[in-house]
Amino acid sequence: MSDAARAQWFRALLAARLLAIDPHGLGGARLHGPPSPARDAWLAALKRWSAQAAPWRRIPAQIRDDGLLGGLDLTATLTTGRPVVRRGVLAEADGGYAILAMAERLPGFAAAKIAAALDEGQIHFARDGVQRSDTARICVVALDESGDDEAPLHARLRERLAFDLDFRALRPEDAPFLDEPVAASNVAIDGKAVEALCATAAALGIASVRAEILALRAACVHAALRGVAAVEPEDVTIAAELVLAPRATRIPEAPPEPPPPRNEAEQPPPPDGESESLDADRPLADVVLDAAAACIPPDLLARLASGMAGSRGGSDGSSGAEKKSGARGRPIGSIAGDPGARDARLDLIATLRAAAPWQRLRAADGRDSRVRIRIRKSDFRLRRMKPKTASTVIFAIDASGSAALHRLAEAKGAVELLLADCYVRRDRVAVLAFRGNAAELALAPTRSLVRAKRALVGLPGGGGTPMASALDAAGDLARAIRRQGGTPYLVVLSDGRANVARDGTGGRETAAAQAQESARRLRADRIGALFIDTGARPAQAARDLADGMGAGYLALPQADAARIDRAVRANMRR
């Protein structure tokens, strides 16, 4: 077993020990990876260390709102003639653990309700003529099985969980043995520890203050686990490694090295018995930051280096924007309405639930006693649907200059990869090539891989770079797609060095100014975009255009089709 795997297992089990001591205070943990013996071993350890009376409730990804929060028990209500309320799974998990199966598929409404339970320690609902509040002090264990091409756990819920653990490369036989945790006690924390954690969070680019609060809580629990009365630097360092490092959104800048002494021979030697290590003299914030930076996960470190890190989630993938109307799509609840209206779909269960609390009162009006269930017009409930629209990826490819053939080959490969599985997600792809003094629509929006290959064969290259004309043409196409009900997404492959104005004349200053104007128009229209800098070295012109467009920026001087495909999918999920 490697030292890295041993350290990763140690941190994972230490997180389980801290959760067993303060489950609700720390919120919970995200376990990233497919089902595995290592994940099962971690869950077994958490259950063994937790209180015996703590409930464990498993929450499926597609749970209904009434199953999550509770609601009217329709069968019991119709039987007794009076409202009978049943508790939801969050209330049943009070004082224990809520295990989210396939958490990456959890709908946004469910993530919001679970996040509210973590914040308040209770849940509230008012529906079907019933109002109720239940205590729900829960610890959430999210089993996130998302891959590289899937959206992970919803960001709203993820930021409330103290620990983010990666089980994709762990084996249960490598797990170290840890003693049983002790009961937590009150510990004191001083201002230096608070300042160190806050400074580390700022250096790592963590915007949410919840991360700092969870790190402080973890430091206190770790101190209680060691049986000390006050938080010490060791506790602060552990908290930064466990809570802050997985949330990093940028690589911390290295502090400037102090200038060397003018005459090293004149420097007095360190006193006997004193270590030459300078850690003891360094500020606590610097020590904690170094420890956290060293524990940034390798895959996150790679994304930070390529500029693709950031909070993901909150969307439902790359299948296009969602509309909360229509006769097709995923049901998202019900609403009062006329079942005779066009495209209306009656929700029978919701209708019965709305009528159930009033049955005894309606039976007292002396009407036909043979009627078992009395339904009024106000009881009718219609299904609300959330259909998804197709997303169209528009590739705007710089076909100018000597590197045109290389860029065109990369784009062709990326188009083929995106179209390979578009049948399931209903995606489409379009290609704009710009060179000389104009932009040309080389491939109209399509799902046909055969048509795409035929259109991209022999695409010409060389000439100037009419960047403004290209962005204008891409914006016009994106707006047309949006008017048709689709969701456009723009991917620009260029070095950003514009040298041809809209009227076809040369001049770098005029061309650059017009390109910035076109970029700002795209940003104003809120068109999602990614700018891939394909220059030999990252260019400031490309970064400025990306900022003007409000687009993600990715420097890939040696890009290939697979990397472009992964970059596009990752940014479409953001």
Per-residue three-class SS string for 268-293: CCCCCCCCCCCHHHCCHHHHHHHHHH
Q: Per the structure block, which two tokens stand in for 574?
A: 């953001």
- pLDDT, tens only, 31-58: 998 888 989 999 999 999 998 889 999 9
> Under a CB-based contact definition with an 8 Å cutoff, are residues 32 and 166 in contact?
yes
Does the pLDDT at position 150 exceed 70? no
What backbone phi and psi angles, to 5 degrees, belong to 396?
-105, 105
Higher-pLDDT residue of 144, 294: 144
Does the pLDDT at position 571 exceed 70? no
Does the pLDDT at position 494 exceed 50? yes
- pLDDT of 314 reads 40
State the pLDDT confidence band at 318, using cuts at 50, 70 and 90.
very low
Does the pLDDT at position 271 exceed 60? no
State the pLDDT confidence band at 421, using cuts at 50, 70 and 90.
low
- pLDDT of 135 reads 92
Write down the domain spans for the chain.
3-176, 330-386, 391-572
Q: Which CATH superfamily is domain 391-572 in?
A: von Willebrand factor, type A domain (3.40.50.410)
What backbone phi and psi angles, to 5 degrees, belong to 4?
-65, -40
SS3 60: coil
Beta bridge partners, 85, equal 72
d(CA 78, CA 168): 49
SS3 136: coil
Q: Output DSSP code: residue 242.
A: I
Does the pLDDT at position 256 exceed 70? no
Least confident span in 166-170, 305-309, 496-500, 543-547: 305-309
> Under a CB-based contact definition with an 8 Å cutoff, are residues 140 and 27 in contact?
yes
Does the pLDDT at position 298 exceed 50? yes
The average pLDDT across 423-437 equals 76
- Counted residue by residue, the chain has a size of 574
Higher-pLDDT residue of 364, 513: 513
- pLDDT of 477 reads 93
The domain defined by 3-176 folds into: Rossmann fold (3.40.50)
Beta bridge partners, 490, equal 394, 529
Least confident span in 98-107, 178-187, 216-225: 178-187
- pLDDT of 422 reads 55
Find the helix or strand (DSSP H, E) in which 53 lies.
none
Does the pLDDT at position 560 exceed 60? no
The average pLDDT across 379-396 equals 78
Sign of the CA dihedral with 400 first, then 403, 406, and 411 last: negative
Beta bridge partners, 331, equal 385
Higher-pLDDT residue of 72, 91: 91
> Could you check whether 3-176 and 391-572 share the same CATH topology?
yes
d(CA 155, CA 158): 5
Residues of the chain by 3-state class (helix, strand, coil), percent to 5: 45, 20, 40
Higher-pLDDT residue of 184, 116: 116
Does the pLDDT at position 371 exceed 70? no
Distances in Å between the alpha carbon of 416 and those of 104, 294, 450, 478, 529? Answer: 27, 38, 9, 20, 19
Higher-pLDDT residue of 74, 12: 12
- pLDDT of 302 reads 59
Q: What's the angle, vertex CA 332, arms to CA 326 and CA 337, rounded to 5?
A: 60
Residue 227: left if φ>0, alpha if ψ -120 to 50, beta else—which one? left
What backbone phi and psi angles, to 5 degrees, belong to 305?
-65, -30
User: Which pTM does this prediction carry?
Assistant: 0.59
- pLDDT of 343 reads 65
State the pLDDT confidence band at 316, using cuts at 50, 70 and 90.
very low
Distances in Å between the alpha carbon of 534 and those of 393, 408, 494, 509? Answer: 18, 11, 5, 21
- pLDDT of 472 reads 93
Q: Per the structure block, which two tokens stand in for 154?
A: 């919803």
Does the pLDDT at position 277 exceed 50? no
CB contact set of 549 (below 8 Å; sequence gap of 6+): 471, 490, 492, 519, 520, 522, 523, 527, 529, 531
Q: Per the structure block, which two tokens stand in for 215?
A: 């790190």
d(CA 499, CA 466): 6
The average pLDDT across 99-121 equals 90
> Helices 540-549 and 508-524 meet at what angle, rounded to 10?
30
Count of CA atoms in the C-beta half-sphere (13 A) of 36? 18
Q: What's the angle, vertex CA 565, arms to CA 562 and CA 568, rounded to 5?
A: 150
- pLDDT of 274 reads 45
